[in-house]
Amino acid sequence: MQAKEQICHEDYQKTADWLLSHTKHRPKVAIICGSGLGLLAEMLKCQESFSYSDIPSFPQSTVQGHVGRLVFGELKGKTCVCMQGRFHLYEGYPLCKVTFPVRVFKLVGVETLIVTNAAGSLSDGYKTGDIMIIKDHINLPGFAGQNPLNGPNDEQFGLRFPPMSSAYDKDLHKLALDICKKLDCSVQEGVYCMVGGPNFETVAEARYLHKLGADAVGMSTVPEVLVAKHCGMKVFGLSLITNKVVKAYNDKEVNHEGVLGVSKMRAGTLQTLVTEFVAQLDSNTAD
C-alpha cells in the first residue's frame, strides 16, 4: 500500500488553502501531541479548532488518548497550531499519510515543529515520569524500507537525499536545557527509537534496542521528524517516559492504560516546559 500510494503537491496545497481560509491564525510553530498529551492544546488562547474529519484529506485518529483535533491559537504571544492526536503506521496508514499534516504545516507557514510522545525507557537511569529531550533517533522501520520519503521526490519540499545528522536542532536543544535549569526541572537527554507497533516489545527485542544505543522506545515521531527536516523546518522533540520497558522475563507487563495514566499525571510539567520554550523561541522563528 505504501509503495503504491502517493500524494501530490496539489493535495497538500488544497488542505493548506482550506485551513488558511477557515482561520485567521498564521502559525509559525506546530506542536504534535503524543498519547495522553493532548491537553497541551488547551494552553492556546483565542482558539479555533477543527476536527480531523472536517479537514480535507486529513487522516483520522483511531487510538485512545488521541482526540483528533487541529487547534490554532496563541501561546505566550506566539501563533501556534497543535495536533491533538497523531497518526501511526500500525493504524494501517502509509507513512505518506502519517506525515501528511507536516507538509501541510509547511505550506501554511510553520517554521518550527515540536514533537512530543509517550515512550518506554530502555536506559537503567530513567524513571517513570521523566522527561527526555530527544537528541537523536533510530529509525528501525526505516531499516526495512519503511520511510515517508520513499517514492518520487517533491523538489518543492526538499532534496532527494536529506541529511539527518542534525535532525534535532542544536540551538533549540540548548534553549530547552536553559529553560529546564531556570525552572529547576530535571530532564534527561537521550536517543529515541521508533518501532512499528502496535505490540509492546519482547524481552529480547528490548535488550537488542538497548544495545543499539536507544534510551527510549515508541511507535511514532520519527516519520514526522524526517519529513519536517526534509521541508527545512527546525525540529525539537520531547519524550515523556511513561513506563519501564520489560527487559527481564519476570518484569511486570506494560499496558496502554498505564501509559495514559502517567501522561495525565505529568502533563502539567510538560505543559510548563513547552509554554516557556515557545515563549523564548527566537522572534525570527516564531513571531
Hey, what domains does the chain have and what are their CATH numbers? 9-286 (3.40.50.1580)
Looking at the DSSP assignment, which residues form a beta bridge with residue 217?
A: 120, 193
Q: Is 137 annotated as catalytic?
A: no
Tell me what the mean pLDDT of segment 185-194 comes to.
Answer: 95
Main-chain dihedrals φ then ψ at residue 33, nearest 5 degrees: -95, 135
Choosing from 25, 61, 91, 210, which is the catalytic residue? 91
Residues 219, 228, 233, 286: which is the catalytic one?
Answer: 219
SS3 201: coil
DSSP type of residue 131: E
Instruction: List the catalytic residue out of 220, 233, 263, 267.
Output: 220
Q: Is 9 a catalytic residue?
A: no
Residue 181 burial by CB count (10 A; 0-12/13-18/19+): exposed, middle or buried?
exposed
pLDDT of 229-255, one tens digit each? 999 999 999 999 998 898 767 677 777
**pLDDT over 70 for what percent of the chain?**
93
Query: How far apart are the C-alpha atoms of 190 and 181, rounded to whole Å?
Result: 17
Q: Pick the catalytic residue from 48, 49, 74, 90.
A: 90
Position 260 confidence tier, pLDDT thresholds 50, 70, 90: confident
Q: Side chain identity at 13, as an amino acid letter?
A: Q
192 a catalytic residue: no
Please determine, for residue 272, whether its predicted confidence score (pLDDT) is greater than 50.
yes
pLDDT score at 179 = 95
Q: Is 43 a catalytic residue?
A: no
Beta-strand ranges (E) seen in 85-160 are 112-121, 131-139
pLDDT value of residue 283: 46
Q: What is the mean pLDDT of residues 43-57?
A: 93
Confidence of residue 65 (pLDDT cuts 50, 70, 90): low
Taking residues 153-175, what's their average pLDDT? 96
pLDDT of residue 139: 97
Is a pLDDT exceeding 50 seen at residue 284?
Answer: no
Omega cis (within 30) before 56: no
Does residue 243 have an active-site annotation?
yes
Name the active-site residue from 16, 118, 119, 167: 118
Does residue 22 carry a catalytic annotation? no
Q: Are residues 58 and 100 in contact, defined by beta-carbon separation less than 8 angstroms?
A: yes
In terms of DSSP bridges, do strands 112-121 and 216-218 run parallel, antiparallel, or are they unpaired? antiparallel
Is 10 labeled as catalytic in the residue annotation?
Answer: no
- Give me the pLDDT at residue 64, please: 66
Q: Each residue of 84-127: pLDDT tens digit?
A: 989 999 999 999 999 999 999 999 999 999 999 999 999 999 99
Please tell me the distance from the alpha carbon of residue 71 to that of residue 81, in angstroms, as a whole number.
Answer: 6
Is the pLDDT score of 261 beyond 90?
no
Q: 198-225 pLDDT, tens per residue? A: 999 999 999 999 999 999 999 999 999 9
